[in-house]
Structure 1
């Protein structure tokens, strides 16, 4: 494959991710950053077709076939932007000049109101580490180490706090 050809074809990141496909969305958990991402149908479709072989035009055409409608390539670029911002791509092609610097609101305006249904969405949350998620024990609760106690002081039972 030519270098120039590779640069036009996005590649999804797969390493360090736990992926769960659901009927209308894909959940992606990033083991490196402890972030969970929910991709709507459009974003999921684009991400799943970022295999290093499909160009953005090909992805737009396939997306149109999937949803039985005409899909502007800008939808794919918007999805790629969202995916890249959440570190879900290994390779992102350089967007065309008219796309560069365009935010989501401007993109939706350029696409028109009819495109709102297919706007790709990536919703992300940070998962707490196990230490952050654990509840602490209050004073006089039995404990074995200080980190179990809200006060941080353990003498068989939590002291203070």
Structure 2
């Protein structure tokens, strides 16, 4: 799984060099934000079901009939929530490792093609994830820095799906 540390080490190794000062500053910055990322990961892990349900509610508020084909509304919502939980898990993993590797490897690669084959627009997921991004509040939900880390990964995923 890619993280700031593995990325820096791999780049230095590929260049047959030691990590540069800027490489080390990047790692240091990641380590300094680690406590905030762990706070966000812990809070998300403890509330993923409620968070996913908020995203599904936002999706079905914008798309009342959903976008699944040949499925009843209940099945559509269940599958939608399953997918949102999957994306939240990837965000959680990314918070833990301090990089976008889990999202890149397991969430973005091929997702468009899968949704296209199922006749589901990624805009539905973007709507739900965007609602989660705009809903978060510091200090009610997370500390300011933890919210920055969480929202940064939500934005990364949203931009990847857009």
Instruction: Give the TM-score normalised by the residue count of structure 1.
Output: 0.27
Q: Which has the larger radius of gyration?
A: 1
Higher helix share: 2
Higher strand share: 1
More relative contact order in 1 or in 2 (CA 8 Å, sep 6+)? 2
